[in-house]
Copies of this chain bind each other. A is one copy, B any other.
Amino acid sequence: MPTRHLSKDYPWVSSPPIISAPMSGFAGPALAHAVYKADGLGFLGGVPDMAALRTALEDVTGLVTGTRTPASGHTLPIGLGALLFAQKLEEVVALIAEFRPVAVWLFAAHESPDFALWTAEIRKVSANTKIWVQIGSVRGAVHLAQSCKPDVLVLQGADAGGHGGEKGAGIISLIPETLHALQRLELLDNISIVAAGGIADGSGVAAALTLGADGIVMGTRFLAAEETSVHPLYRAAILETEDGGQTTVRAKLFDELAGPNIWPKDFDGRALVAQSYKDHIEGISIAEIRKSHAEAKQTSHLGFDQENRRAAIWAGTGVGLVRERAPAAEIVTEIREAAKVTLRKALTNLE
């Protein structure tokens, strides 16, 4: 478990590094900034709308520096998510050149070579922007390590909420096997490993560290943060839900609700089990499911209420550990400290 370069690249980040996921549509300037201020690493979610993305970058620059226009030579201590299948490389690269985020997190390409292409173009325009690449398989991690030489591999386990590979293991086996494969090929010296998927409390963070992760990503847990752009009914559903392995499910159906699925073919997403999903399992047609979904979106509940839950509410299996709304800084600090306490206790119990 070498100490790699997360602490060098993000010197304000306290150990263990806590990272807020670039949840598209949810992770905006307020969340990214609050995580940054709590000595974590905050990401803006990638969105296809470039005007909205520019505004988000201006806003977070303003929160960090006091002025919305990036100064020359400035590096923004905030990460940026990129959805490769849904964004144009040249448009994103232009924003990166201008705003110089400290990291760009590449996710969900239609074709694997796109990762290397984006990596190369981003590095050309912003040397201080570290490249993060998200993947959920051992083979994929090895391939990306060889083809992109990213600074960070985000290993996403099957417990993760939102989008990821249709097939996958939990981090309990994904991380150790990937580390072993990378080590054998001598690919690990310059790549940090960040864990995602099912981590929602201090013990999960501690577990990910023992598995060999250098940093930890949480998404679902940050849906409870005050600074996250999430509808109150959506957040309420997250806070109410227990027993995440039973009450969430991975399915492509959630990407079909509002129209044809635009995600790359091997992707699906984990969300709360909804009436839409139950209908799908019972063989109800997608046309009818879409109609009911559209109707529910017109109500005051937007399809988020438990009685007629028709909308996708993305959540990982850790959703049952997410119990109350809180400032992001409190979440970061509490979990970081709990992770240390947990590790010490586990060792004390052993010795």
Contact = CB atoms under 8 A, between A and B. Distances in A.
Interface of A: 1, 3, 15-16, 136-139, 157-159, 167-177, 180-181, 197-201, 203-204, 206-212, 242-246, 249, 316-318, 320-321, 339-340, 342-347, 349-351
A208 B173 CA distance: 11
A132 B31 CA distance: 44
Main secondary structure of the interface of A (DSSP, over half): helix
Copies in the complex: 2
A169 B159 contact: yes
A347 B347 contact: yes
9 contacts: A1-B346, A137-B245, A159-B170, A169-B245, A170-B170, A170-B198, A176-B204, A181-B242, A343-B347
Contacts of A246: 137-139, 167-168
B173 A321 contact: yes
B317 A173 contact: yes
A209 B350 contact: yes
B139 A1 contact: no
A181 B243 CA distance: 10
Nearest to A339: B350
Given A137-B245, A174-B317, A210-B342, 14 more contacts: A137-B246, A158-B158, A159-B169, A159-B172, A167-B249, A170-B317, A172-B208, A173-B204, A176-B321, A177-B243, A177-B320, A203-B210, A203-B212, A210-B210
A74 B175 CA distance: 44
A337 to B, nearest CB: 11
Contacts of A204: 172-173, 176, 211
Contacts of A168: 245-246
Contacts of A244: 169, 173, 177
B173 A318 contact: yes
Contacts of A209: 210, 346, 349-350
A342 B179 CA distance: 14
A89 to B, nearest CB: 28
Contact of A350 (B137, B197, B340): B340
A177 B316 contact: no
Contacts of A318: 169, 172-173, 177
A176 B203 contact: yes
Nearest to A177: B320
Which 9 interchain pairs have the tightest Cβ spacing? A169-B245, A170-B170, A169-B317, A172-B198, A207-B207, A173-B318, A206-B210, A138-B243, A168-B245
Contacts of A316: 173
A199 B172 contact: yes
A211 B200 contact: no
